Each structure stands twice: as C-alpha cells, then as structure tokens.
C-alpha cells in the first residue's frame, strides 16, 4: 500500500443544507416555528397529523420548505392552509423530498460529476488535491483520476454542493402564491404511516379466582421519521375502512407490555361516528424510534368466573370411533362483564390481556394471556388462559349403529359415549362438557342432564369431587 494511504472520509463544504429553490424564493420552516401539533392515531399503521407553524411569508410566488414532516407522509393527503388569512395562499405544486442526505446518497448523486480527491501525507500532514470523476457508487466508489481508474481510494472526497432534492430531513416543499406579506399561522394536515398503537391489559387474580384488578395501557410506537413535541394525542379504536394501496412498508415493531403499578387513567373517551375516540388529557412528546406507554384505565375488584371446559368435535358422531383420547386437555377460561357495576363500563380497545396471580409468598406469577377484540360497554370478555394440569378427561365411543339412509342427506346414526372426568385437586371443580352435534340431533339417554346451548351444541355441567372422578355417559341420535 502507498505511504499516502488513509481511510476514505466523505466531507462536504457547505454553508447551508438547502437545495436550489423550486419556485421563486425558498422559505424554510423548521420545528422551531411549530406552535402546536396534534396527532390522531388509528389501529393499522395510520395517523392524522395537524401541524401548526408560525412563518413569515413574503408576497408573491415562493417555495415553502416544511422540514421535519413525517418520513412516511402520504403526500397526496397533504392539506396546507393559512389560519391567519384563510384563502390567502394559492397552492400551485408540492414535492415531498424523501431522498435524505447520507455519504452513500451524496456519492450516488455525483456519479458522472467531478469532486476533489484529497490525500494527506502521513508524516507531514500536507494535503494534496486532485480532480476526480465519480464513475460508480454501488458496492464502493469508482473514480477516474487523470488517465487512471481507482477503487478503494485512500483519502477523502470533497463535494462542492448538495444536489437538489437531497436533504438532511424529510421535507415537504410547497410552491405557493401568497397575496399578503405577513407572519402567518399555517396548518399542514396529512395522513402518515409509521405511527401505531395498541392496548395492553394487565389483570391480577385474587387468591380464590373470583375477582381481578385490571389495568389498561396504551402502547405507542413512532417510526415515522420525526418527533412530535408536546402533541395533543388522540387514538381512534374501531375498524376504519381504507383503500388498500400497492405499497410495501417496513415491518411492524414487536412491542411488549411491562407490568407496572397502575397509575390514574389519563385518557378520556367519547363516541366518534361508529368508533371510539380516546384523548390524552395532557400534551406528550412522541419521539422518533420510541415506544411509550400511557395509562388507559384502572379497575379494582372486577368479578370474574372461572370455567373448566372440555370441547368435543362433531366428527365423533359420523362414524365408528372407539377410543377418542386419554388424559385429554381441559381448557381454563375466565370471563367478566364490562359493566359499571363491576368497576369497568368503558369501551375497551382490542389488545392482549396478560393475567397474573400471586404465589404463597406474594410474588406475582404469569398464568396466561389472551387477545380481546374491541369490546363495547356491557359486553362479556372471555379469556382462555391455558389448559388445566390437574383436571383431565378420558373419552371413548361405546356404541355406534347406522339406523338408515342411502344418500348424502338422509343418514341416521345412533351412538353412545363415556367421558371420565378426573380431578387431582384438593377442591371440587365443575367441568363444562361442550359437544357439537351435527344435523338434527336428540339425546336418547344420559347419566347427567344436558342443556341445549345452541342449535348444534349440547352442554353438561359435571361436578367432579376433589381427588376423585365422575363418569358422564350419554346416547344420541343424529340425522343429516
């Protein structure tokens, strides 16, 4: 290697990082001009931003460069208006400059152009300048220096300027005509991706599983490319219809809820069209590449019911089966009502409910989680937390006969079943046995009385003693 060799360093000699004006004089507006910002975030990577700024505008045509807008802005949704002089701004054209200044981008813009190659003597520190032409900037830089081609060039490159439309921040440039020179309050509204929210809930069961303390959190994620300082934050819960575009965005960020002591709820709720709007009661700063949590609700002593449930399958009743399983898993569910008398009673956004319970030493332990959909007031929430360890079931078919039928839609079958429910716990439990029945059905004989939960489901509520077992037998006829 030559004694002149040094690592490549890209530098720019500029006084201002602005491009050539698009239309007349360019007026640059930064976050220092911002007077107020409001952000309304929807469920699926969509947000509405309303950005108010105080800007001195001359009379006549100009290019207004609004810096530090969202890098995920949908430019076709942008609306700029003057709050000081409504109707005084005529919008002629707008351009969203998202090609941001980086050493690589700068090299790419200078392909085919000349730059200065500077080599520094390692002993004397003397700089030697040569004019070079950038031939390529793909997996490295290729230069033409005099009559030779060089790659892996030792030294640094000096660029005379920043090319047009290459900016250090996402910038919306609006060509407009102003009918009055004045300092004006302008408002830019636009839709953007990169902002999202989800509800996360933490529930702690009491010792006998009859009540929970429930806290709710809103988890916000900002990957839009800019910061929203002291923003009025609103969240819309509901399924807003959107026209799907053929665009590819970066993947969603994985978010984890943190179990923390519940604070007083900070968000108010109201109806909005067919959705629900949640408003944070104080301004908040949503920084770029940040996840933050805001308290949504705090409810203590919410009554719950726990259920052990053995779920059957309609295929059992269509043929000869024999043994249908040993030590079958029995699901564990809890459910509670979203009612004011149960210390809730507010529309709950969809999200994940994580459930904890204290051990004998008073330490909270995670016992399961489930996802809920948007849940209005006075609806019931039902969570599956897992499968029981100490409560199991053995199931078998004890008889099967074809009673008639020679076509697809006139079969008649009679079959009998035995379900042995076992309980290794120290207390009695009640197991719900849910059997989906195909076609027209009727129970001919049974050891325990059933109820008809729906047109295709029979339910048995079976009490199983501590350290014991209970056997359910039944015979059923089905026609379909």
Summarised one tens digit per residue, pLDDT across range 219-268 is: 999 999 999 999 999 999 887 787 765 444 333 332 233 333 444 456 78
pLDDT number for residue 270: 87
One domain for residues 326 and 411: yes
Pick the closest to residue 193 from 302, 75, 296, 97 (CA basis). Answer: 75
One domain for residues 174 and 316: no
- Domains in the chain, number: 4
pLDDT at 414 over 60: yes
Q: Is 218 contained in some domain?
A: yes
Q: Is 15 contained in some domain?
A: no
Pick the closest to residue 416 from 394, 439, 443 (CA basis). Answer: 443
CA 196 to chain centroid, in Å, comes to 5
Domain assignment of residue 173, given as a range: 25-99+167-192
One domain for residues 270 and 334: no
Query: Regarding predicted confidence, which is higher, 209 or 247?
Result: 209
For the question of whether the overall pTM of this predicted structure is more than 0.75, the answer is no
Q: Is 345 contained in some domain?
A: no
One domain for residues 69 and 120: no
C-beta neighbour count of 135 within 10 angstroms: 14
One domain for residues 294 and 226: yes
pLDDT number for residue 168: 73
pLDDT number for residue 253: 30
pLDDT at 275 over 90: no
Q: Is 423 contained in some domain?
A: yes
One domain for residues 310 and 397: yes
pLDDT at 184 over 90: yes
Pick the range with the lowest mean pLDDT from 85-89, 325-329, 468-472: 85-89
One domain for residues 47 and 171: yes
pLDDT at 399 over 90: yes
pLDDT number for residue 360: 92
Q: Is 358 contained in some domain?
A: no
One domain for residues 275 and 126: no
pLDDT number for residue 100: 64
pLDDT at 14 over 80: no
Q: Is 343 contained in some domain?
A: no
User: Which of the 8 DSSP states describes residue 298?
Assistant: E
Q: In the structure, what pLDDT confidence band is assigned to residue 11 with cuts at 50, 70 and 90?
A: very low
Instruction: List the CATH number of the domain containing 457.
Output: 2.60.40
pLDDT at 301 over 80: yes
- Give 95-119 pLDDT, tens digit per residue: 886 666 678 878 888 888 998 999 8
One domain for residues 433 and 391: yes
d(CA 221, CA 54): 28
**Contacting residues for 102 by C-beta, under 8 A, at least 6 apart:** none
One domain for residues 322 and 456: yes
Distances (CA, A) of 298 to 145, 220, 266, 308: 69, 18, 10, 28
Distances (CA, A) of 280 to 50, 214, 365: 16, 19, 31
Pick the range with the lowest mean pLDDT from 63-72, 164-173, 315-324: 164-173
pLDDT number for residue 247: 40
One domain for residues 431 and 390: yes
Query: Regarding predicted confidence, which is higher, 215 or 97?
Result: 215
- Give 150-179 pLDDT, tens digit per residue: 887 778 898 888 776 667 778 898 999 999
Residue 177: beta bridge partners? 61, 90
Q: Is 369 contained in some domain?
A: no
pLDDT number for residue 99: 63
φ/ψ of residue 3, rounded to 5: -70, -10
One domain for residues 121 and 180: no
Of 110, 141, 159, which residue is a domain's last? 159
Q: Is 464 contained in some domain?
A: yes
pLDDT number for residue 122: 81
């Amino acid at each position: 290697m030559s004694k002149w060799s040094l690592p490549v360093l890209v530098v720019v000699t500029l006084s201002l990082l602005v491009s050539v004006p698009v239309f007349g004089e360019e007026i640059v507006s930064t976050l220092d001009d911002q007077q107020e910002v409001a952000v309304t975030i929807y469920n699926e990577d969509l947000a509405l931003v309303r950005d108010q700024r105080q800007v001195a505008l001359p009379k006549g045509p100009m290019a207004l460069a609004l810096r530090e807008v969202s890098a995920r802005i949908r430019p076709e949704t942008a609306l700029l208006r003057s709050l000081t002089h409504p109707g005084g701004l005529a919008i002629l054209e707008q351009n969203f400059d998202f090609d941001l200044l980086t050493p690589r981008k700068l090299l790419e813009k200078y392909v085919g152009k000349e730059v200065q190659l500077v080599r520094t003597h390692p002993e004397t520190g003397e700089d030697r300048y040569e004019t070079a032409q950038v031939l390529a900037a793909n997996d490295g830089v290729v230069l033409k220096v005099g009559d030779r081609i060089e790659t892996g060039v030792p030294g640094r490159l000096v660029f005379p300027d920043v090319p047009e439309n290459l900016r250090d921040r996402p910038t919306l440039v609006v060509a407009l005509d102003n009918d009055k020179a004045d300092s004006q309050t302008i408002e830019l509204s636009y839709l953007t991706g990169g902002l999202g929210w989800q509800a996360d809930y933490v529930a702690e069961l009491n010792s006998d599983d009859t009540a929970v303390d429930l806290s709710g959190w809103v988890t916000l994620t900002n990957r839009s490319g800019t910061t929203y300082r002291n923003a009025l934050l609103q969240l819309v819960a509901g399924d807003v219809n959107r026209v799907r575009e053929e665009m590819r965005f970066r993947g969603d960020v994985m978010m984890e809820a943190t179990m923390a002591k519940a604070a007083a709820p900070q968000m108010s709720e109201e109806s909005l069209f067919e959705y629900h709007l949640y408003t944070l009661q104080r301004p908040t700063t949503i920084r770029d590449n940040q996840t933050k949590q805001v308290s949504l609700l705090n409810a203590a002593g919410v009554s719950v019911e726990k259920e052990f449930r053995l779920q059957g399958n309609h295929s059992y009743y269509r043929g000869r089966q024999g043994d249908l399983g040993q030590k079958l898993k029995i699901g564990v569910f809890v459910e509670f009502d979203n009612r004011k008398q149960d210390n809730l009673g507010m529309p709950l956004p969809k999200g994940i409910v994580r459930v904890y319970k204290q051990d004998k030493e008073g330490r909270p332990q995670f016992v399961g989680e489930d996802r809920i959909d948007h849940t209005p007031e006075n609806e019931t929430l039902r969570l599956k937390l897992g499968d029981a360890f100490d409560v199991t079931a053995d199931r078998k078919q004890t008889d099967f006969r074809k009673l008639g039928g020679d076509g697809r839609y006139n079969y008649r079958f009679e079959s009998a079943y035995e379900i042995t429910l076992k309980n290794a716990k120290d207390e009695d439990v009640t197991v719900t046995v849910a059997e989906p029945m195909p076609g027209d059905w009727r129970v001919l004989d049974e050891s325990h009385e059933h109820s008809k939960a729906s047109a295709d489901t029979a339910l048995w509520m079976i009490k199983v003693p501590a350290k014991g077992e209970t056997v359910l037998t039944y015979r059923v006829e089905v026609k379909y």
